[in-house]
Amino acid sequence: MRAVTWHGRADVRVDTVPDPVITEPTDVIVEVTSSGICGSDLHLIEVMAPFMTVGDVMGHEPMGIVREVGPEVTEVKPGDRVVVPFNISCGTCWTCSQGLQSQCETTQNREQGFGASLFGYTKLYGQVPGGQAEYLRVPFGNTLPIKVPEGPADDRFVYLSDVLPTAWQAVQYAGIPKDGTVLVLGLGPIGDMACRVAMHLGAKQVFASDVVPERLARARARGVTVIESTRQEDVVQAVRDATAGRGPDSVIDAVGMEAHGSPLASLAQKATAVVPDAIMEKVMQVAGVDRLAALNTAIEAVRRGGTISLSGVYGGATDPLPLMRMFDKQIQLRMGQANVWRWVPDILPLLTDDDPLGVDGFATHHVPLADAREAYMNFREKKDGHVKVLLKP
């Protein structure tokens, strides 16, 4: 089959790789019909490159048609249409029963000290072949795939794999009070969708900060109050002016390690390109390598007693935090990989003909799998209005 594979920093290719096969009695094989490119995929060809291996199949936002099932699979059958969550969870262990599928005890990567395995990600998360491919082996066929109805185009459902539950959890973790205010930092796919979810769930006013014109236009068209800057002083002043000097009740950091800021962290990120992987792996597991500009903006912007929700990915083990400032402002902080199945019952009923979250028009580009290399680079450079890309095998 054809699949998007990792070959190094800023280097993805479409290669021919072996077809996946049933290896466990509860496996299913899915023929992929759509698969998104995620902002965290870009981390794999940048700062997280030391944890990758040449030939790794990428992608963690797939959906498709079940083509083969293992002998113990009873909940799906060949021909069923399914979305595949990005985190690989058994659905039956203690953490899964607590709605913490991203911490699944069955697929935890204990040797690495990390949580549940992820499709198409690093060796820290199991190095499981991903879904930017023609076919995908999906374990836990009775509990992991999300069955969706026939009829609407893939765009209606594919975001259940990651974008929708990640944005939904970001808003839930933000704890926005009834008729409250929220600031979203970053209007990439997660930030954009978080704005939509916050408005749908009743936020009185949603602010968002970015500098990419196409992203700002999308958010503005849906009623978001946009701030055309990412400079901390500009963002903080704008939200304080609009909230009686206090700042918003909640801030969602949808930027993470992409943020510009610390020169030392920038140097550490660039070092991943020249320092041998074995050395850089150790450095990243014991050092702070993130640019914390977005998080520092969140800390400064949020009102006293407010909440910060982190959905942007950070990769440093000892990133410095201004704990005195956070303690003094009585800030609440929540974060973590989205627990996809925790939120599916809340989200799936919204994926109706009314389309309140605007998923049908959410993708800006639909690209053949064969053109994935160019699509990655365009998305990385934010060219030609690339906000959300769906690959079509």
Does pLDDT of 306 surpass 80? yes
**Residue 314: which pLDDT band, with cuts at 50, 70 and 90?**
confident
SS3 category, 383: helix
**Residue 316: which pLDDT band, with cuts at 50, 70 and 90?**
low
**Percentage of residues of the chain with pLDDT beyond 70:** 90
**Among 79, 207, 60, which residue's Cα sits nearest to residue 121?**
60
For 339-370, the pLDDT digits (tens) are 999 999 999 999 988 999 999 999 999 999 99
Give me the residues paired with residue 332 across strands.
Answer: 307
Architecture in CATH of 164-335: 3-Layer(aba) Sandwich (3.40)
For 335-345, the pLDDT digits (tens) are 999 999 999 99
Query: What's residue 276's pLDDT?
Result: 53
Architecture in CATH of 2-162+339-392: Alpha-Beta Complex (3.90)
**Residue 48: which pLDDT band, with cuts at 50, 70 and 90?**
confident
Residue with tokens 């140097």: 267
- Give mean pLDDT, residues 68-82: 98
Query: What's residue 258's pLDDT?
Result: 56
Does pLDDT of 272 surpass 90? no
**Residue 317: which pLDDT band, with cuts at 50, 70 and 90?**
low
Query: What's residue 289's pLDDT?
Result: 47
Sheet of 225-227, strand order: 225-227, 205-209, 181-185, 250-253, 307-310, 332-335
Does pLDDT of 175 surpass 70? yes
Measured distance CA(174)–CA(307) in Å, rounded: 6
Query: What's residue 257's pLDDT?
Result: 65
Query: What's residue 155's pLDDT?
Result: 98
More confident residue, 283 or 204: 204
Buried b (16+ CB within 10 A) or exposed e, 55-81: ebbbbbbbbbebebbbeebeebeeebb
Query: What's residue 313's pLDDT?
Result: 73
- Give the domain ranges of the chain: 2-162+339-392, 164-335
**Residue 286: which pLDDT band, with cuts at 50, 70 and 90?**
very low
Which two structure tokens, joined as six digits, stand for 335?
């974060």
Does pLDDT of 81 surpass 60? yes
Query: What's residue 288's pLDDT?
Result: 47
**Residue 269: which pLDDT band, with cuts at 50, 70 and 90?**
very low
Measured distance CA(197)–CA(357) in Å, rounded: 7
Does pLDDT of 174 surpass 90? yes
For 216-249, the pLDDT digits (tens) are 999 999 999 999 999 999 999 999 999 999 999 9
